[in-house]
Structure 1
């Protein structure tokens, strides 16, 4: 025991706390259990001693913890860490494991593991009947399809190099989740001091020079280029470069809405509207997971398709079969400036004149569709439709507000009506619902000076474990506004029934019992129960004032929930 307290030796749990701080983790999202006791003690010791440590953020549901980590990374760009309780806590991460995978979130998920020994002389031994029930044949299997890497810490002295490796893998391109299992005995064993140096993540890939020139030549030879992107604007600086490329080529940018990928109000910005694809002869894909849905809209069959993506083949999507002619494995932050230079080298005066004409035509088409979207908002005021509500929301938002969006079937209306600059709009980026409130909580922790507004459907609001998310937000002074677009149904699950069985029993009898969210939940009372406040919004005329009121309440430290009633579809 004497060696454990010497200057050179500490418990492995203390090493973990020091390693998290050294890796740049500012907030450690956790849900504790019997297995995390050594870590809780190490965090308390670090607070007492004033030694470097991340802020521990208690989340009363694991889904909120990982959702918050995803949102925190989107805003701050820092590596993330989450701690959950053995197999049960890992299972409770649920859909957020999927979201972390698809959003390429560099997060290390730590999970306890049932102690191995029942020998009382071994510190951390089994001392409860649950230690037998919590042990699984393959606890890591839960993460196997979604994570990049997994490992168990066998001994305290091995913890530090394993954690260093986990953060290196999680942050290297393409980034994603790593999973580390922590037996309690290992956490209580002596660690390794001095700690090993940080393992530097791999430098993000740059494009092959020859392939980049060939890709640029295809764009130069095209008659009509359309750019499709979902996340190029994850780094706002890339949005500016992409805008210059679009302007040079006269190419509309189909923004799929995971982020805002062009400067706000840019005349070539086609947000959520893939119509330009139908007449393209060349399509440039940049950081796009699903460029188009072939049964709904697609470029002509003879169109040439080229791609820039850090993960162009997408092996985690078994049937990703888009006809890409040149796929550049490259981080778009590095590739887009090089592509701009390659295009400028090939841009003759004649080409520039031709591209200028294409640009004016594309801008006119996009302006016409924008006008139609604004008219849609105006004409639907009396019907309380999403467009009108969201147009009023947009008018009330200050420029520095960050929008977290999980609106599901109202997502097209959000794209049409909510205008944000790059770096101030973040969609869930994956179809696993229940991210919005935890994501907003994490975003607020990462950018406390900015107002944060979550826009979600009533279904995704409930999936978000709202009591847990709002509770944590109040505990850590990270209040945000939630706008619940409440159509009293799972419309995303009702619509396929109508599409697949237009003459079926459901339609004939108007019987959609499985998708009706009735009786109504009192979301205002729910907010109040968690320390917040709320109000019901019935009309677009009331929406703007309601948003301003909610923002003021959040500014005073209370989460505000707006229950925005829409017609039931």
Structure 2
């Protein structure tokens, strides 16, 4: 027997979705039945690979990691309203991160007398029947739709993916009642295929010649031009173009709250990372007379560190320059020009205009800027080297610093990976209050070599590593998730490491264990620097700490994987901490590379 679920699953596969991250429920009988039919007909295989996920947020986050690495949407299947709600913060992340994902949720049956296949036969189906299930997620989605018949399922799926993969990319949500998915169809309906190429994504938009020339001339005529970017590196081909623009005009580049590599770390005009805490923006912002903002949600915070009032500001965004589609409430930048243009085509246009007009401008000023920026970059790197190599004077009882740990990690990876470098390494950065330090000290060169969620909901890094591994197809020698201890717990490690073992997706986890949630404490100090909270003796007293008896994070992973994962805590007490971290990190990397198992290193740092 074939059903609308047969058509649905065939259409998913025809649309190019190779992986479905599934959390099954009472609304999915026909889907489970058809998947078993596929296995019986195809030597145990299904058209799309099914990844069983014991937690919905983990499922969506793994799909996000898959799409971030491949650029291809994955699908997620969840259970009615409760499964939809359980995706929670991951929904925020795929929206704000502009990640194309297709989410499907079943819904309770609408019939109750047995008059249709799939009618209500369990008590939960009454209490899970809500008036508008899609309303739970609609403001985060690019598109929502109910599938009302198997006959229209292919068209609904193709339309959803067409929207999800058009700028600004993002998640889409489909749902259907159980009777609809149980609807019987004939074989011809299942075999009928709709060509994916008939449902193309919107072609990327270029800058107008006027905009490209205006921006290029402004940069060439500026005394202190400045480039701010956050997400331009999501398009890997844009990375060398931004580096070329910076080189041609001698422009400093800063990455503000980045989600991807903007330019190679070693580029002499790259001046660092900032997450805008306090007055942490680059000093170039206050000096700049022309600012080019590329794919950035928050280029600066006007109330704490604005640009100079007379600065000429140009904003380029790949699909949503006013942040209306991604549903940001209050948002404004004092800009001379707002441009809706694909970042790759925009940089091609600006670079071509710069080359056209460069001969008419003073090369001496540009050379001076290049020299000054190269010196600034060199001094910055030297300061990072100093932080990594400066250990506490008492190695027996002191704590390692974050730069100590990350310096050892980076060098160990360079020594132990087959290519002896970082060219085939993927870093998933969920350091949160330590975001900038991870960017600083991992020193990523390769486009796509380091990513974040692009959102602010914690718990992304672990499951995203699974999805990235599945999507990479052996592209990376090593995948490293660097997370805070809070992020580790938010990531539902009990589900993550079970999935990792079942589907053989080994990755290295570095837990930056500072004893709790540092970010809420920093937010409090930002508002009340000398208040009562500033005098709290510990994070535990302030209720943001996990001490004095914090979890053994590495052993959570070991237990969840039934002993398959390797786990160790380092830096807690006793012994030479420098030697301990060198030994522990070397063993953790070795386990992943040679034994193809997950390794989790719980790195104890100074407590909050």
- The TM tier, using the shorter chain, reads over 0.9
- Using the TM superposition, give the Cα deviation of residue 381 of structure 1 relative to its aligned residue in structure 2, in angstroms: 4.7
Q: Do structure 1's residue 220 and structure 2's residue 212 form an aligned pair?
A: no
- Using the TM superposition, give the Cα deviation of residue 540 of structure 1 relative to its aligned residue in structure 2, in angstroms: 4.5
1:405 match = 429
Query: Any conservation in 1 of the 2:459–2:491 contact (CA below 8 Å)?
Result: yes
Q: 1:291 aligns with which of 296, 299, 308?
A: 299
Q: Do structure 1's residue 306 and structure 2's residue 314 form an aligned pair?
A: yes
Give the secondary-structure state (helix, strand or coil) at the position aligned to 1:68.
helix
Q: Do structure 1's residue 258 and structure 2's residue 282 form an aligned pair?
A: no
- Using the TM superposition, give the Cα deviation of residue 448 of structure 1 relative to its aligned residue in structure 2, in angstroms: 4.2
Give the secondary-structure state (helix, strand or coil) at the position aligned to 1:156.
coil
**1:529-540 map, 5 Å:** 529-531=559-561, 532-538=565-571, 539-540=577-578
Query: Any conservation in 1 of the 2:27–2:79 contact (CA below 8 Å)?
Result: yes
Q: 1:156 aligns with which of 141, 150, 159?
A: 150
Deviations 1:356-376 (A, max 9, x none): 221111121222222222222
Q: 2:441 aligns with which of 417, 425, 449?
A: 417
2:102 match = 108
1:557 match = 596
Deviations 1:294-322 (A, max 9, x none): 34433222111112111211122222111
Cα 1:435–1:265, aligned 2, differ >3 Å: closer, same or farther?
same
2:460 match = 435
Q: Structure 2 stretches of 5 or more lacking a match?
A: 275-280, 394-398, 415-421, 572-576
1:144 match = 138
Give the secondary-structure state (helix, strand or coil) at the position aligned to 2:427.
strand
- Using the TM superposition, give the Cα deviation of residue 509 of structure 1 relative to its aligned residue in structure 2, in angstroms: 4.5
After TM superposition, the structure 1 stretch with the greater mean CA deviation from structure 2, 487-496 or 369-378, is 369-378
Query: Any conservation in 2 of the 1:392–1:540 contact (CA below 8 Å)?
Result: no
- Using the TM superposition, give the Cα deviation of residue 501 of structure 1 relative to its aligned residue in structure 2, in angstroms: 2.5
Q: Do structure 1's residue 499 and structure 2's residue 538 form an aligned pair?
A: no
After TM superposition, the structure 1 stretch with the greater mean CA deviation from structure 2, 143-152 or 522-531, is 522-531
Q: Do structure 1's residue 385 and structure 2's residue 401 form an aligned pair?
A: yes
Deviations 1:7-62 (A, max 9, x none): xxx41111121112122212111100011121122222223323871100011100
1:47 match = 39
Structure 2 Cα separation of the partners of residues 513 and 243 of structure 1: 45
Structure 2 Cα separation of the partners of residues 196 and 238 of structure 1: 33
Give the secondary-structure state (helix, strand or coil) at the position aligned to 1:236.
coil
Cα 1:157–1:547, aligned 2, differ >3 Å: closer, same or farther?
same
RMSD: 1.8
Give the secondary-structure state (helix, strand or coil) at the position aligned to 1:81.
strand
Give the secondary-structure state (helix, strand or coil) at the position aligned to 1:404.
strand
- Using the TM superposition, give the Cα deviation of residue 380 of structure 1 relative to its aligned residue in structure 2, in angstroms: 4.5
Give TM-score scaled by structure 2 length. 0.89
Structure 1 Cα separation of the partners of residues 380 and 286 of structure 2: 15
Cα 1:540–1:281, aligned 2, differ >3 Å: closer, same or farther?
farther
Structure 1 Cα separation of the partners of residues 71 and 208 of structure 2: 26
Give the secondary-structure state (helix, strand or coil) at the position aligned to 2:27.
helix
Cα 1:509–1:349, aligned 2, differ >3 Å: closer, same or farther?
closer
Q: Do structure 1's residue 126 and structure 2's residue 120 form an aligned pair?
A: yes
Structure 1 Cα separation of the partners of residues 155 and 13 of structure 2: 15
Query: Any conservation in 2 of the 1:406–1:455 contact (CA below 8 Å)?
Result: yes
Give the secondary-structure state (helix, strand or coil) at the position aligned to 2:140.
coil
Give the secondary-structure state (helix, strand or coil) at the position aligned to 2:173.
strand
1:487 match = 514
Query: Any conservation in 2 of the 1:248–1:352 contact (CA below 8 Å)?
Result: no
Cα 1:397–1:278, aligned 2, differ >3 Å: closer, same or farther?
farther
Structure 2 Cα separation of the partners of residues 285 and 490 of structure 1: 31
After TM superposition, the structure 1 stretch with the greater mean CA deviation from structure 2, 440-449 or 81-90, is 440-449
Q: Do structure 1's residue 516 and structure 2's residue 540 form an aligned pair?
A: no
- Using the TM superposition, give the Cα deviation of residue 535 of structure 1 relative to its aligned residue in structure 2, in angstroms: 0.7
Cα 1:82–1:414, aligned 2, differ >3 Å: closer, same or farther?
same
Structure 1 Cα separation of the partners of residues 129 and 391 of structure 2: 56
- Using the TM superposition, give the Cα deviation of residue 239 of structure 1 relative to its aligned residue in structure 2, in angstroms: 0.6
Q: Do structure 1's residue 330 and structure 2's residue 341 form an aligned pair?
A: yes
Query: Any conservation in 2 of the 1:173–1:205 contact (CA below 8 Å)?
Result: no
Give the secondary-structure state (helix, strand or coil) at the position aligned to 1:265.
coil
Q: 1:471 aligns with which of 481, 490, 498?
A: 498
Q: Structure 1 stretches of 5 or more lacking a match?
A: none
- Using the TM superposition, give the Cα deviation of residue 551 of structure 1 relative to its aligned residue in structure 2, in angstroms: 2.3
Give TM-score scaled by structure 1 length. 0.95
- Using the TM superposition, give the Cα deviation of residue 156 of structure 1 relative to its aligned residue in structure 2, in angstroms: 1.9
- Using the TM superposition, give the Cα deviation of residue 243 of structure 1 relative to its aligned residue in structure 2, in angstroms: 0.4
